[in-house]
């Protein structure tokens, strides 16, 4: 049987992407990462993909947003993924893209609380006592798609945004792999 084809979308450091790459390499995930798409030049995640021998596609945002949307869709079409994993990808995908592909996203908050690009900062500013991580299906809204899995992380009075985010990411790296295991098992059965 051919392995499920994963494409990772990421914008920055890529530690969440790395947890997926490692899980595939160690066969914890029965899948192949057929490509990594990044929108930011010089992002650390590009080096991570290169080191793992994964084809990387740099697609920086363009002044013509529609052109960028089509480039993302065309690249995904060529890679023909069974599942796309948005792991620290700081861009909103077009409605056409999210309708065309099965896409999951990892978000550093307990959705529907604190959607958007500053989830950790927003949780601290709101004085929340806990936050966490959500893995959810991507729809055309901002972090509005159906939640698949969540795990909470408590907030302590001394937390800064960086410290709290790092603690959330520890939970995130495990939860994304566990969730992908479940989704890939469903993929094999269907
Ligand atoms: C992760 O916490 C991810 O959930 C978040 O960016 C971080 C990427 O970390 N994504 C979002 O906030 C998207 N709204 P990484 O670069 O170390 O993988």
Greatest Cα pair distance in the chain: 51
Q: Look up 118 and say whether it is catalytic.
A: no
Tokens of 151: 């795990």
pLDDT score of 79 more than 90: yes
Residue 128 to residues 25, 125, 157, Cα–Cα distance (Å): 37, 8, 10
48 with 66: CB under 8 angstroms? no
Please enumerate in sequence order all residues whose Cβ is within 8 A of that of 127, keeping only pairs 6 or more positions apart, or say none: none
Q: Which residue has the higher pLDDT, 185 or 132?
A: 132
172 lines ligand 1 (CB under 6 A): yes
15 lines ligand 1 (CB under 6 A): yes
pLDDT score of 65 more than 90: yes
7 with 103: CB under 8 angstroms? no
Q: Name the average pLDDT for the chain.
A: 96
**Ligand 1 atom having least distance to the Cα of 117:** 14
Q: Residue 93 and residue 103: Cα distance in Å, rounded?
A: 10
Phi, psi of 79 (to 5 degrees): -80, -20
Please enumerate in sequence order all residues whose Cβ is within 8 A of that of 64, keeping only pairs 6 or more positions apart, or say none: none
pTM: 0.96
Report the pLDDT value the prediction gives residue 189, as an integer from 0 to 100.
62
Q: How many CB atoms lie under 10 A from the CB of residue 58?
A: 13
The DSSP secondary structure of 2-65, one letter per residue, reads: PPEEEEEEE-S--HHHHHHHHHHHTTSS-EEEEEEEESSTT-HHHHHHHHTT--EEE----SSH
**Ligand 1 atom having least distance to the Cα of 12:** 16
Q: What is the mean pLDDT of residues 122-129?
A: 98
Q: What is the mean pLDDT of residues 164-175?
A: 98
Nearest CA owner, ligand 1 atom 10? 88
Report the pLDDT value the prediction gives residue 187, as an integer from 0 to 100.
73
Q: What is the mean pLDDT of residues 54-78?
A: 98
pLDDT score of 190 more than 90: no
pLDDT digits (tens, 9 = 90+) for 1-24: 689 999 999 999 999 999 999 999
Nearest CA owner, ligand 1 atom 17? 15
């Amino acid at each position: 049987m051919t392995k499920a084809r994963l494409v990772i979308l990421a914008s920055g450091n890529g530690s969440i992407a790395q947890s997926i790459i490692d899980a595939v390499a160690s066969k914890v995930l029965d899948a192949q990462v057929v490509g990594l798409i990044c929108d930011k030049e010089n992002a650390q995640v590009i080096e991570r993909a290169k080191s793992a021998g994964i084809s990387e596609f740099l697609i920086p945002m363009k002044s013509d947003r529609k052109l960028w949307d089509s480039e993302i869709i065309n690249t995904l079409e060529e890679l023909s993924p069974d599942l796309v994993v948005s792991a620290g990808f700081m861009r909103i995908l077009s409605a056409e893209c999210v309708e065309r592909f099965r896409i999951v996203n990892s978000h550093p908050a307990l959705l529907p609380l604190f959607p958007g690009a500053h989830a950790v900062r927003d949780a601290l500013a709101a004085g929340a006592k806990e936050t966490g991580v959500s893995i959810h299906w991507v729809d055309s809204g901002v972090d509005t798609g159906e939640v698949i899995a969540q795990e909470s992380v408590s907030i302590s009075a001394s937390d800064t945004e960086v410290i709290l985010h790092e603690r959330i990411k520890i939970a995130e790296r495990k939860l994304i792999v566990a969730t992908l295991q479940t989704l890939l098992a469903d993929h094999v059965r269907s």
